[in-house]
Structure 1
Amino acid sequence: MEAVPFGRWHRKPRIVVGTATFFDAFDALSLAFALPVLVMLWDIAPAQIGVLISASYVGQLIGALAFSSLAEKHGRIRGATAAVTIMSIMSFACIFAGDFQMLLLLRFLQGIGIGGHMPVAAAYISELSRARGRGRFFLLYEMIFPVGLMVTGQIGRLVVPGLGWQAMFLIGAIPGLIVAYLISKLPESPRWLINRGRLDEAERIIEAMESCNAYAMKTDTEAAPPAPSPEPKAIAQAPGPRKTRWLELLSPAYLSRTLTVWALWASAYFIANGLNNWMPTLYTTVYELELGTALFAASLNNVAQVLLLLVCVFTIDRIGRRNWVATSFVLGGAALAVFGMTGAQNPFALMVLGTLAYGIIGSTNAVLYLYTPEIYPTRMRAIGTGLATSWLRLASAAAPTIVGLMVGEQGVAAVFLMFAGVAVIGMIAATRMIETSNRRLEEIAQ
């Protein structure tokens, strides 16, 4: 596969899985833009808001672990299809929630699907990539998640005031079921097939890649140095399947990598999802902005993230994963600290500094989806990514609840100083990253 450049064959998997990832983002954030209405409709207290937001992330934690294991045993395509199906059905069910308790349960169940799809999709797209240009290839796919968040924000501010909060869940439901069907028709990951000893199937898929990308292979050969040994040879020498054991992630060979990415996921998403889920409500309750203005201000978070990620897409293979992540924590943490230390009194300052911090650290979130599958071998790539993203879910579940408690007792300034402290932890963890830019997956895994 290292001899096959990116071309026409790769477009369909990236578009289909990217569309599913778009609805991951939409379904994950839809509640944030429904909450300002639900708070008034159901008289929800700040602590309950945090619990409702956190319910989805608890479900995502369970989904990430369950579907990553499923994907190691039964394939990336089966795992992704099942996860997207659950996510979409539960989005439809949320429309009929009549009270706080019912929506809490349905968001938990929907979270299982959301959390299950993302690590499996990351492993799948990474395994279709060769070393040269993998960062750009992967991030062009992963960029659809922040684009989905951005679109969710714009749709939320336009739809919720006129059509009600239920419209957000309806929009995420029907298209998701169509995408689940399209995923089921995608080819399986050749690297996963090789690892499972299904060599003939893997070779047929690689031959299809070579045939479809024949022109790209010709121009790539003329423009670049010789590629590594072709995959058919690797297939002929491939070992039989090795049983995946998650404890291997904590073996001496992988312990440092594992602890580093766990700290990175927890730090980045504690900040990002703490900000993204609470800012619409902060604007309406603490700063008393009108609903439409508040939703517009909150939607700028994801616009900033997309703009920063565009820069990241075209520079990540030159700058490197480690440098980007470390710098993001420094700059994002500085913006959070400035807002907290100046008293957090001005909604315009929140709009500038909070949005900037989210955009910077949000770009790191996408890089982690690129980096984590790179550092593990095929036999445990999905489970390694799934366990790492479990820390995302734990942090994302904890952050809204902690923010809800702190806002009521200590104020907004204390919340942002806490976020700045978490950014310091992320920066320290980033210094422990190994650099993976332009290295073959098989080489990195050794």
Structure 2
Amino acid sequence: MSAPARPPTSTAMATTPGTIGDVANRMERLPATSWQVRVRLLIGTATFFDAFDALTIAQVLPVLVGQWNIGAGQIGILISAGYLGQLVGALLISAVAERRGRVPAMVVAIVGYSLMSILCALAWNFESLVVFRTLQGIGLGAQVPIAAVYISELTKAHGRGRFVLLYELVFSVGVVFAGLAGFWIVPRLGWQYMFVIGALPILVVYFIRRHVPESPRWLAARGWHEQADASLQRIETGVAAAARTTLPDPEPVAVEPPTGRSSGWLEIFRAGYARRTLVVWTIWFAAYLVYYGIGTWMPTLYRTVFDLSLTAALGFGLIGNVAALAGAATCALLIDSVGRRPWFTGSLAGAGFLLCALAALRADSAVLVLVLGSAAQFFAASTAIGLYLYTPELYPTRVRALGVGTATAWLRIASIVGPLLIGALIGYGLGTIFAIFGAISLVIAVFVAVFATETKEQVLEELSP
């Protein structure tokens, strides 16, 4: 199929094939078809296992605590080690995504965390697992944010929230699957098999390389207009074939020329982006301090504080993961109608109130922690998944991967601090822990309501020239 006709517009940028304006015009008129679904499924497979691998540690810890005689401080170190690697990966490979492309960066990340998952399965003691989890985290920390950037750049403004977050939902499904697999596999086959399963995404690398085109928006931003036009024609051909119709002519989109070449990391602090950067960094840190801090510890808390059996502890933890999946799904379906800022404000406040209520009731029974804690995970997860939609909307294509990578670095810092904080505070009682996390959620809810930028239904190039 030849490239569709493009009507002349008032800007030179929009008349030349493969330039930023031309790409924006053509992307905005593409209907949603099975072609986009196939691309989402291919990349989503890797994202699914990224979540599985990230949360595997929560499933194997209840066994390793006894098998390796691990104390509370060591538990915090082992959980945080993976997130330390993810911090490095989020910063390092996001830079690769800006220089070499979204697809090659994703492939590097997938291969890396898959191979390290095998080494985790072969770990022989606490120290070796800490090393392998740290190295595995480099790939885990890079794949999800780069995939979020790519999916956002493939999407038009209308319905972008649902399109992107229905893809991101596979991460939450992966979390639940990790809980289900851990519930069945760990007591029967052993903890090592969880890491063996986590290596499976390496099998999809070939298909990603073969069937997923490079982002036309990234190619256009690099000034590679011919390659951008060719990549977009490939997408248009696939979409038209899936839709079984001729694509409509593109309508002009008001796109301002970029202010100049990217200055790298400094770009996200320039006028127009500095406030966005500081706000979104704060939300990432606070949301994931609560989400991962509580979520990764839950099975171990049920096992050690309430003395539940291994099966019961993993089962209660699974219920929390299902609640988180429900929260993520609710966000995916409703955030386009509600808007980004109101959604984050409400979900952070909901988690905060529930955790404070749990603290006020002294968290003195496993059932109480299960009910209120799982409800808090519902709200926390809806904030966490929404950030993967919101953050790419805040930056121009030339630094979008860097912007998202540095933002998700705060996720990793929070994920390191959260488990360590719980490990340090557990001697003061669960009520203290839940009170601290609840207060953080409530404060950030107010912060978001005052300072966050609304991005609903706006073209990426209009939001961030």
TM-score normalized by the length of structure 2 = 0.90
- Paired with 1:69 and 1:241, the residues of 2 have a C-alpha distance of 18
Look up the match of 1:289: 308
Choose from 227, 235, 240 the match for 1:201.
227
Look up the match of 1:326: 345
Look up the match of 1:424: 442
- Paired with 1:418 and 1:211, the residues of 2 have a C-alpha distance of 53
Look up the match of 2:252: 229
Choose from 377, 387, 405 the match for 2:424.
405
Farther off after superposition, 308-317 or 91-100: 308-317
Look up the match of 2:126: 100
Look up the match of 1:24: 50
SS state of the match for residue 335, structure 1?
A: helix
**Is the CA contact (8 Å cut-off) linking 2:103 and 2:209 kept in structure 1?**
yes
- Paired with 2:221 and 2:392, the residues of 1 have a C-alpha distance of 15
- Tell me the percent identity: 44
Give a deviation string over 1:97-122, Cα, whole Å, max 9, x none: 11100000000000001001111111
| 1:375 corresponds to 2:403 | no
SS state of the match for residue 315, structure 1?
A: helix
In the superposition, relative to structure 1, how do residues 363 and 220 fare at CA in structure 2: closer, same or farther (>3 Å)?
A: farther
Look up the match of 1:142: 168
For 1:181, the aligned partner's letter is Y
| 1:364 corresponds to 2:387 | no
- Paired with 1:238 and 1:343, the residues of 2 have a C-alpha distance of 57
For 2:32, the aligned partner's letter is F
Choose from 117, 120, 123 the match for 2:149.
123
- Paired with 1:240 and 1:310, the residues of 2 have a C-alpha distance of 38
Map 1:129-278 → 2, pairs under 5 A: 129-173=155-199, 175-185=200-210, 186-214=212-240, 216=243, 228-229=251-252, 242-278=261-297
Give a deviation string over 1:23-56, Cα, whole Å, max 9, x none: 1100000011000000000110001100110000
For 1:354, the aligned partner's letter is G
Give a deviation string over 1:283-320, Cα, whole Å, max 9, x none: 00000011101101001122112222222222211111
| 1:83 corresponds to 2:109 | yes
Q: CA deviation at 1:241?
A: 8.2
Q: CA deviation at 1:142?
A: 0.3
**Is the CA contact (8 Å cut-off) linking 2:213 and 2:234 kept in structure 1?**
no
- Paired with 1:425 and 1:18, the residues of 2 have a C-alpha distance of 33
| 1:444 corresponds to 2:456 | no
**Is the CA contact (8 Å cut-off) linking 2:87 and 2:138 kept in structure 1?**
yes
Aligned residues: 436
The gaps in structure 2 that reach 5 residues or longer are: 1-26
**Is the CA contact (8 Å cut-off) linking 2:353 and 2:442 kept in structure 1?**
no
Q: CA deviation at 1:220?
A: 8.7
For 2:106, the aligned partner's letter is A
In the superposition, relative to structure 1, how do residues 424 and 240 fare at CA in structure 2: closer, same or farther (>3 Å)?
A: closer
Look up the match of 2:453: 434
In the superposition, relative to structure 1, how do residues 416 and 227 fare at CA in structure 2: closer, same or farther (>3 Å)?
A: farther
| 1:74 corresponds to 2:100 | yes
- Paired with 2:345 and 2:245, the residues of 1 have a C-alpha distance of 38
Look up the match of 2:72: 46
For 1:254, the aligned partner's letter is Y
Root-mean-square deviation (Å): 1.9
Give a deviation string over 1:117-164, Cα, whole Å, max 9, x none: 111111111000010111111011000000100111011011100111
For 1:70, the aligned partner's letter is V
**Is the CA contact (8 Å cut-off) linking 2:323 and 2:374 kept in structure 1?**
yes
Map 1:54-73 → 2, pairs under 5 A: 54-73=80-99
Give a deviation string over 1:246-295, Cα, whole Å, max 9, x none: 11212232111001100100011000101111000000000001110110
**Is the CA contact (8 Å cut-off) linking 1:377 and 1:442 kept in structure 2?**
yes
- Paired with 2:116 and 2:379, the residues of 1 have a C-alpha distance of 31
**Is the CA contact (8 Å cut-off) linking 1:136 and 1:313 kept in structure 2?**
yes
- Paired with 1:195 and 1:165, the residues of 2 have a C-alpha distance of 45
**Is the CA contact (8 Å cut-off) linking 2:330 and 2:382 kept in structure 1?**
no
In the superposition, relative to structure 1, how do residues 417 and 217 fare at CA in structure 2: closer, same or farther (>3 Å)?
A: farther
For 1:427, the aligned partner's letter is A
SS state of the match for residue 38, structure 2?
A: helix
The gaps in structure 1 that reach 5 residues or longer are: none
Q: CA deviation at 1:243?
A: 3.4
Look up the match of 1:113: 139
Q: CA deviation at 1:188?
A: 0.3
TM-score normalized by the length of structure 1 = 0.94
- Paired with 1:78 and 1:241, the residues of 2 have a C-alpha distance of 25
- Paired with 2:325 and 2:420, the residues of 1 have a C-alpha distance of 27
Look up the match of 2:20: none
- Paired with 1:84 and 1:47, the residues of 2 have a C-alpha distance of 30
In the superposition, relative to structure 1, how do residues 395 and 240 fare at CA in structure 2: closer, same or farther (>3 Å)?
A: closer
